[in-house]
């Protein structure tokens, strides 16, 4: 483990407490679909540029009907589109979901590969999605999923100084205590969607403002 991140325990504790009710509410909803590597993969693909609330509802509609790669590979793309609407880029996502499901059936025996390196070979699956599948689908501990919120916020706080999500993943793996890896992604994504917004973050109502260096934040409210 490299140098410590300042106030990491305080910040993680506050965010957990702050988002607890919201997380409980969301987790209740997720219970409507069985958690498998495939459902984790599909929900993650749906979540790109989409609010959590919309992702959850769309995932439930789609995955209640098509639970496995085999089912999904046979589904009609138009039907997938209808079920996932209004997620962002729903047409592209519907096509991609069908393609990936077919590939899983043809090349991986109808299963989501249990290997990060195999996952990122699949067109449409990037590092973030592969990390999410390994972490939440296969309950592996050595993975840390970084999306745009997880990249932006630690840079603003002053924890790290990185240019790309990949660099952030590397730095945080060195510096963030492992006990926080599992919570990090969903806490920071939700925090980024609600308070530490990409443009004009809501610093005046931010529960961790006193610990934040606001690096690169020119405009806030
Ligand atoms: S103080 Fe502002 S910039 Fe810092 S974490 Fe809070 S919302 Fe984000």
Mutate to test the pocket of ligand 1, among 5, 8, 203 (most ligand atoms within 8 A of CB): 203
Q: Which of 24-33, 113-122, 160-169, 210-219 has the lowest mean pLDDT?
A: 24-33
Ligand 1 pocket, residue 203 CB under 6 Å:
yes
Residues in contact with 161: Cβ distance below 8 Å, sequence separation at least 6, in sequence order = 155, 215
The number of CA neighbours under 13 Å toward the Cβ of 160 is: 22
pTM check: above 0.75: yes
Virtual torsion, Cα 150, 202, 163, 183, nearest 10 deg:
-10
Tokens of 40: 């984790």
Ligand 1 pocket, residue 11 CB under 6 Å:
no
Domains of the chain: 8-24+144-211 (1.10.1670.10), 32-137 (1.10.340.30)
The whole-number average pLDDT for the span 22-36 is: 84
Ligand 1 pocket, residue 156 CB under 6 Å:
yes
CA distances from residue 150 to 54, 114, 183, 187 in whole angstroms, order as listed: 20, 24, 11, 9
Is the separation of the CB atoms in 221 and 204 below 8 Å? Answer: yes
Cα(96) to centroid(ligand 1), Å: 35
Q: 140: how many CB neighbours lie within 10 A of its CB?
A: 13
Atom of ligand 1 nearest to the CA of 209: 1
- Average model confidence (pLDDT) across the chain: 94
Question: What is the predicted pLDDT for the residue at 8?
Answer: 96
The whole-number average pLDDT for the span 22-31 is: 81
């Amino acid at each position: 483990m490299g140098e410590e991140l300042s106030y990491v325990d305080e910040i993680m504790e506050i965010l957990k407490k702050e988002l607890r009710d919201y997380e409980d509410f969301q987790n209740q909803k997720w219970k409507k679909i069985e958690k498998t590597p495939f459902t984790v993969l599909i929900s993650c693909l749906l979540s790109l540029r989409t609010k959590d609330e919309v992702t959850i509802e769309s995932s439930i509609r789609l995955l209640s009907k098509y639970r496995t790669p085999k089912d999904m590979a046979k589904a009609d793309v138009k039907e997938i589109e209808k079920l996932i609407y209004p997620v962002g880029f729903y047409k592209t996502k519907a096509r991609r979901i069908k393609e990936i499901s077919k590939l899983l059936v043809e090349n991986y025996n109808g299963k989501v590969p249990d290997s990060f390196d195999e996952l990122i070979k699949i067109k449409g699956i990037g590092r973030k999605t592969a990390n999410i599948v390994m972490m939440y689908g296969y309950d592996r501990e050595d993975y840390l999923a970084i999306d745009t919120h997880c990249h932006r916020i630690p840079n603003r706080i002053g924890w790290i100084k990185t240019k790309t999500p990949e660099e952030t993943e590397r730095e945080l793996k060195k510096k963030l205590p492992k006990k926080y890896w599992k919570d990090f992604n969903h806490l920071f994504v939700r925090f980024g969607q609600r308070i530490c917004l990409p443009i004009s973050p809501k610093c005046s109502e931010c529960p961790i403002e006193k610990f934040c260096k606001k690096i690169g934040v020119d405009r806030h409210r």
